[in-house]
Amino acid sequence: MVRRAEMLAELMRYRHGIAVAGTHGKTTTTALVTQIYFEAGLDPTFVNGGLVKSAGTNARLGSSRILIAEADESDASFLHLQPMVAIVTNIEADHMDTYGGDFNVLKQTFIDFLHKLPFYGQAIMCVDDPVIREMILISAAR
């Protein structure tokens, strides 16, 4: 049996991957990004945690090289992914059993996820979130 993140990682190796991570809003954001690509006529492959209403399903194989995926931080499996674009909606203390009850470990895991981006990749982060702002400041200081 292949884990979801491992399957996504394999698919993403051969495509332009867009991974959506965060404590809240992943499913909605993934659906919105997918719809934008549909409207642009780019026919992406997508794998979402919930229904993409316009497509009537939560996953679909498209004809373009674009793969849009909801990235799961609940078990840190999103670290398997190597997207070209990473979208982070917000970061809160959730699934803390995975991170040994340490919020700093969770934050570092998100930083590790962002470090999977290639040098030409893009990170789209919600700066309304105070934890994301803190992470940006720490990263900029390095």
Strand, helix or coil for residue 16: strand
- Note if 107 is an active site residue: no
Strand, helix or coil for residue 62: coil
- CB half-sphere exposure, 122, CA atoms < 13 A: 6
- Note if 70 is an active site residue: yes
Which residues pair with residue 66 across a beta bridge? Answer: 16
Query: Could you say which of 23, 26, 73, 109 is catalytic?
Result: 26
Query: Could you say which of 27, 28, 92, 116 is catalytic?
Result: 27
Query: Could you say which of 29, 30, 45, 70 is catalytic?
Result: 70
- Note if 26 is an active site residue: yes
For residues 42 and 24, is the Cβ–Cβ distance under 8 A? no
Residues classed as catalytic: 26-27, 70
